[in-house]
Each structure stands twice: as structure tokens, then as C-alpha cells.
Amino acid sequence: MASLREIKHRMSSVQATMQITRTMEMISTAKIRRALAAAEEAGPYKDAIKLMLANVASAERDIDQPLLREHAKEKSVLFVLIASDRGLAGGFNVMPEREVFRKMKELEARGVECSLITCGTKPTDFFNYRGIKPVMSFVGISDAPTMDEADRIASYAMDGYRQETIDRIMVYYSHAKNRMEQVPVVEQLLPLRAEDLMLPNAPRNPEALESVGSVAHSEFAFDPSPSEVLGYLIPAYIRTVIYHALLDSTAAEHGARRRAMQSATDNAQQVITNLGRTYNRVRQGSITTELTEIIGGASALEDN
């Protein structure tokens, strides 16, 4: 059994760790409020521009837009993975990293070329370690993303899709449902389908898609044509979706770290409690042993 000194040293070590985890929990609690507010403020603009796209797309059935046109054969897929620069957030980074890696290997086995854009130090290191070099990587931005990163990602994705060097773009990130719960999100960024834009509000189902054809929007008149209007709206929508995903991921990261640090703090407190009981038991045993030795020594002296 460990000595009293060893147990006391371990208790001090766990207490120091608990102070760190409790401080990190408090920091994440403060940051998540601002991050959630930023994501919520960007949400209405994203919904509004998508609704506008829906109205324009439904006004004309034959729209000639490269970003709405599905390629004949899928030869190349671009993955955009948004995660974190730091760890200590439970499975926040690990789960999407493994899912994207699995999906890439699955597509490559079918002969589809895969490329990757990473946002965050953790996913960048994860794929570099496995010999997969991202075509673009952004580090040091997960705590405070800006529109500049969204513009660069969107420009690369749209240029590749227009030139047909990329046939599909998928975005993986975590949505902050609230301060405690994070939900993984997989969203197809391109190609945009006109029938999807006609139904901007989820959930979409086959029955709802079948009813799209009966919706008429004859009250709308466009100048210039709907196709030209979409040429301006679609890039703005793509940038907005990516920027909102970056903001949403930031809020989810702080929520995940808060939960992980709270769990670590609770576990540390339980370890300290158990060590305290062990310390008292060892100390009591030590005192009992000393008393026994003293009584035994006194009895020996009396016998002499």
C-alpha cells in the first residue's frame, strides 16, 4: 500500500489538475455565449438568402447555371472539414476526422479522387500524419473565424466545380444545438439542386419534393433573368453557408470543451474523495500500529 506521503502528493497533483479543468470550464462557459450569439445572428441571413434562391430557382424550370448543373460522372469529391485548433474537447475532433477519413477511403476504393480542405490544427495534423495533405488548411482560426476564410474556401470550391475538376463538395462540421449538445452535420455544398432550393425548410422528403412541380410563382418578375440573378445569389449563398458553419463549429467546440472539462472536474473530485478515504485508512492503520508497539513496549518493561 502507498505511504501517507505518496497519497498526499497524489492528492495535491489531482487538486492542481482539477483547478485547471475548472478554469477551462469557466472560460468555455463564457466563450460559448458569444459564439452562440454570433451563430444565431448569422442564421437569419442564411435563411433569407436561401429563401430568395428558392423563389428565383422556382420561377424558371430551365435554369442554365454551372453551380446547379450536376456533372455526368463523379470523378472527384472535395471534403471541407471544420473542427478545432485545440483538443481537450472530448470526441469533438476525433469523430468527424474518422468519418471523413472513412468516407474518403470508401470513395477512393471506387476510383473516385478525393481532396480535402481542413479548418483547425487538429484535423490538419490528423490527415498529415496519415499521408493526406489538404489542398487548403486554416489553423489558428477556430476560436474567431472571419468571412475571409469563408471567401477563400468558397472561391476554391466554386472554381473547381465550374471547371469540372471537382464534381461534388461536402461540408462536415458540428452544430451547436444548445450550450450542452452538439450535433454532427454533413451538408452537400455543391451541386445545388433547384428542387432542393424550392424547399428551403427541412426536413425534406420524397412526398414534399413531388409537390414542388405544382407550385407557381407567376407573381414574380425578374430583370435581369432568373439565371443572371442566380449568378449573383449562388456565390453569396455558398460563402454564407461556409461562414455560418465556421461560426456554428466555434460554438459547438466551446460547448464540447465545457462538457469535457466539467466531466474531468467531477472525476477529479471523485478521485480526491477516494484518495482522502485511503489516506485516512492508512493513517488510522499507522496510528493503530504505533499504539500497539507502544503498549507492547510498556508491557515488556513492566514484566522486567
DSSP notation for 114-146: EEEEEESHHHHHHHHHTT---SEEE-S-TTS--
Q: What distance in Å separates the CA atoms of residue 103 and residue 114, rounded to the nearest whole number?
A: 9
Question: Are 177 and 169 spatial neighbours (Cβ–Cβ below 8 Å)?
Answer: no
What are the distances in angstroms from CA 214 to CA 32, 56, 210, 211, 226?
44, 16, 8, 6, 19
pTM: 0.79
pLDDT exceeds 70 at position 62:
no
pLDDT exceeds 70 at position 59:
no
Q: Which residue has the higher pLDDT, 41 or 211?
A: 41
Q: Mean pLDDT, the chain, as a whole number? A: 82
pLDDT exceeds 70 at position 212:
no
Mean pLDDT of 233-258: 90
The Cβ of residue 255 has, within 10 Å, a number of other Cβ atoms equal to: 26
Q: Which residue has the higher pLDDT, 211 or 168?
A: 168
Maximum CA extent, the chain: 119
Q: CA nearest 190: which of 226, 154, 137?
A: 154
Mean pLDDT of 239-244: 91
pLDDT exceeds 60 at position 14:
yes
What is the percent of the chain with per-residue pLDDT over 90, rounded to a whole number? Answer: 31
Domain boundaries in the chain?
4-27+259-299, 38-255
* Topology of the domain covering 4-27+259-299: Helix Hairpins (1.10.287)
The Cβ of residue 114 has, within 10 Å, a number of other Cβ atoms equal to: 17
- Where residue 214 falls among pLDDT bands split at 50, 70, 90? very low
Q: Which residue has the higher pLDDT, 75 or 297?
A: 75
* Topology of the domain covering 38-255: Pyruvate Kinase; Chain: A, domain 1 (3.40.1380)
Most confident range, picked from 49-53, 57-61, 213-217, 279-283: 279-283
CB-based burial label for 210 (10 Å; 0-12, 13-18, 19+): exposed
Question: Are 189 and 169 spatial neighbours (Cβ–Cβ below 8 Å)?
Answer: yes
Question: Are 280 and 206 spatial neighbours (Cβ–Cβ below 8 Å)?
Answer: no
Mean pLDDT of 172-183: 85
88 grid coordinates: 481537450
Question: Are 196 and 51 spatial neighbours (Cβ–Cβ below 8 Å)?
Answer: no
Q: What distance in Å separates the CA atoms of residue 113 and residue 98, rounded to the nearest whole number?
A: 18
What are the distances in angstroms from CA 92 to CA 51, 86, 95, 135, 253?
31, 10, 6, 23, 7
Mean pLDDT of 234-258: 90
Express each pLDDT in 24-50 by its tens digit. Answer: 888 888 888 888 888 887 777 777 877
Q: What distance in Å separates the CA atoms of residue 44 and residue 176, rounded to the nearest whole number?
A: 16
pLDDT exceeds 90 at position 7:
no
pLDDT exceeds 80 at position 71:
yes
206 grid coordinates: 420524397
Q: Which residue has the higher pLDDT, 61 or 76?
A: 76
